[in-house]
Amino acid sequence: MKKPYVFTHKEWSTRALVPLLFCWIVIVAVSVPGAWAGTAGITVLHSQDRYPRGGSYPLLFRVNVAPKWYIHETGKGGEGLIPTALHVKPLAGVKITGIRFPSPEKKEFSFSTETINVYSGTFLVRANLQVDRQAPAGDKVLEGSLSYQACSDTSCLPPETIPFSFRVPVAVEGARTTPKNQVLFAQAESEAQARTAPTGFIPGAGLFLTLLGIFIGGMALNLTPCVYPLIPITVSYFGGRSGQKTGRPVFHGFLYMMGLAFTNATLGAVAALSGGLLGSVLQSPIVLFIVAAILVGLATSFFGLWEIRVPSGIMQVSARTFGGYFGTFFMGLTLGVVAAPCLGPFILGLLTFVGQKADPALGILYFFVLSIGLGLPLAVLAVFSSNLERLPLSGGWMVWIRTCFGWILIGMAAYMILPLFASPVLKASVVGVVLVGAGLHLGWLEKSKASWAGFVFVKRGLGVVLLTAAVIFFLAVPKQKQGIQWTPYQISRVQAAKEQGRPVLLDFSAEWCSPCRALERTVFTDPEVLALSREFVTLRVDLTRRHPAQDKILAMYGIRGVPTLIFIDRKGIEKKSLRVEELIGKDGMITRMREVLR
């Protein structure tokens, strides 16, 4: 009989070590999250088993956010957080349209004084799947991406983009289909209908002042050289002086305003509906600078350096006259074409502003109010057409009015690039330069003249108001406290500190990290923290933008999020028990710094 084999002690140790090591690796992999990944995931839910050509079908994207984490809403909000965006590339006659996120939840974070709109847990994003009639039958694989930034109550992760793909079975027209996931689709639809509160603008003082400014701007556009000479002709048309007009002048004025409103409100809605794409594109600093440059270029048109010229064919169509009420309505429709050299730059600038807001209701409202401002003076003058002779004659004062609109566009350009400046001083400098430039140009350097003596006082008065506003703006900027002076991280500087016997305070931070900015404001400017920091070599790793050595540095120090503060003693060894991976108060910071300096 063959004797059973007996394992030696060494063999037992080796065989037992392998499964134990495997289990340890699995436990570590599950329990320790990756540096940045795993915060959110996305899956696609189909409404039926296949999609016949020539139709539009509902589709759902289910987004799962890891517990204790939140991702920002789709709109541009405060605290510098990156908005969430979902994109799917079209393929061979199949595309995704009408992506609609649910209403976000409002969340208070310790690093912000205001509530922030976020998503958490699991939520459904509605969309439409459009299949063209010419799309070939068969399975199509669409590729997409979900971009987001995740934050917890005390820390933030860098912006992340996760790719995904899903299969779309395309069938011939008239093919029989089987519904799928109907409960989830009904749930998403009912939740959308239950949200009666507006998800875009909320009426308030800020909105009222904006609408008032747009209304006044619309009225002021009547004083430009392109529109003002048309006022007597237009009002005479309303009043029936041509002998061909019928109907009441007031109603003709109303139709004229409605024609203006229809054209401009349509432009506003189109710009806002494209705002989802525009809003994501405008997150790029390069794009913001390009848009600002375009606005400045449009402003130079108001300064008389060039003019927008409409093709002669369009001008001929817009110059046609029609009788009756339709003729008045048609005049309102085409005013933007006839007066394009003056109206065009301002309207294009406002379109860019509305597109950034990405709210169709707001876009329609803005341009409707602009139309009322443009048309109301004409409608009023139509009723009192006998007073036309009292209007001031055309002259150089209209050129000055047009120059004012040029500076308004430059102000809009400055507004576009303000988010790129983190420092309040830099933001105040940009606004102040615009105000000073406008005040000097409009008050003194612009040489237009008018026949009435009060025009000079108006110019000087506006110049003084703008210069005074610039001074007040600079004085109102809160003075920044002196904070810790950081040096960009280099491994050689850590080695040099070890050789000199100095401790190191290593800060991992980013501009998009709201808790990091809270630390900068409330902790790093504290006098005692500032005094203790002078005993350290203070190094910072800026993760705002990716750089070649970033992954290596993150892996070296095991960084999982920001803010992260690492304390390295005089011997070059990290004090792991003192590491900070969340928003901390000044007392906790002081305690850790003193512990290292002992």
202 pLDDT higher than 60: no
Structure confidence at residue 16 (pLDDT) = 45
Run of H or E residues at 124: strand 122-131
pLDDT: which is higher, 447 or 274: 447
**pLDDT band with cut points at 50, 70 and 90 for residue 529:** very high
- Residues 394 and 223: their CA atoms lie apart, in Å, by 9
Mean pLDDT comparison of 136-150, 259-273, 438-452, highest-scoring range = 136-150
pLDDT: which is higher, 484 or 196: 484
Determine the average pLDDT of the residues in 306-313: 64
Structure confidence at residue 155 (pLDDT) = 85
pLDDT: which is higher, 94 or 329: 94
**pLDDT band with cut points at 50, 70 and 90 for residue 119:** very high
Six token digits for residue 351: 């379109």
Six token digits for residue 67: 């517990």
**Cα torsion angle, 223, 228, 232, 236, sign:** negative
Determine the average pLDDT of the residues in 447-476: 88
**pLDDT band with cut points at 50, 70 and 90 for residue 156:** confident
145 pLDDT higher than 50: yes
**For 95-104, 204-213, 348-357, which range has the lowest pLDDT when averaged over its residues?**
348-357
DSSP 8-state code for residue 488: E
pLDDT tens digits, one per residue of 392-429: 666 778 888 889 988 988 988 888 788 777 677 788 88
Structure confidence at residue 284 (pLDDT) = 61
Run of H or E residues at 143: strand 138-148
Structure confidence at residue 20 (pLDDT) = 43
**pLDDT band with cut points at 50, 70 and 90 for residue 51:** very high
Q: Which of 331, 327, 302, 309 is nearest to 318 (CA)?
A: 331
263-273 burial, b if ≥16 CB within 10 A, otherwise e?
bbbebbbebbb
**For 69-83, 446-460, 529-543, 577-591, which range has the lowest pLDDT when averaged over its residues?**
69-83
Other Cβ atoms within 10 Å of 245 Cβ, number: 19
Q: Specify the pairing of strand 537-542 against strand 504-509.
A: parallel
127 pLDDT higher than 80: yes
**pLDDT band with cut points at 50, 70 and 90 for residue 312:** low
Six token digits for residue 198: 């507006």
Structure confidence at residue 262 (pLDDT) = 81
SS3 at position 142:
strand
DSSP for 38-59, please give it. SSEEEEEEESBS-EESSEEEEE
DSSP 8-state code for residue 248: -
Other Cβ atoms within 10 Å of 186 Cβ, number: 10
- Exposed, middle or buried by CB within 10 Å (0-12, 13-18, 19+), for 369? buried
Structure confidence at residue 164 (pLDDT) = 95
**Alpha-carbon separation of residue 48 from 59, 126, 132, 167 (angstroms):** 9, 15, 17, 12
**For 119-123, 196-200, 351-355, which range has the lowest pLDDT when averaged over its residues?**
196-200
Residue with tokens 């007073």: 387
Structure confidence at residue 110 (pLDDT) = 76
SS3 at position 291:
helix
Amino acid type, 444: W
Phi, psi of 61 (to 5 degrees): -115, 120
Q: What is the mean pLDDT of the chain?
A: 79
- Exposed, middle or buried by CB within 10 Å (0-12, 13-18, 19+), for 575? middle
- Residues 410 and 438: their CA atoms lie apart, in Å, by 9
Structure confidence at residue 407 (pLDDT) = 93
Structure confidence at residue 17 (pLDDT) = 43
Six token digits for residue 161: 């983009």
**pTM attached to this predicted model:** 0.53
Determine the average pLDDT of the residues in 115-128: 92
Phi, psi of 361 (to 5 degrees): -60, -40
Amino acid type, 233: I
Structure confidence at residue 388 (pLDDT) = 58
**pLDDT band with cut points at 50, 70 and 90 for residue 376:** confident
**Cα torsion angle, 374, 380, 382, 386, sign:** negative
**pLDDT band with cut points at 50, 70 and 90 for residue 497:** very high
Six token digits for residue 56: 């539009």
SS3 at position 521:
helix
> Which structural domains are found in the chain, ordered by start?
40-194 (2.60.40.1250), 205-420 (no CATH), 487-597 (3.40.30.10)
- Strand ranges inside 182-223, DSSP E: none
Contact call for residues 336 and 181 (beta carbons, < 8 A): no
434 pLDDT higher than 90: yes
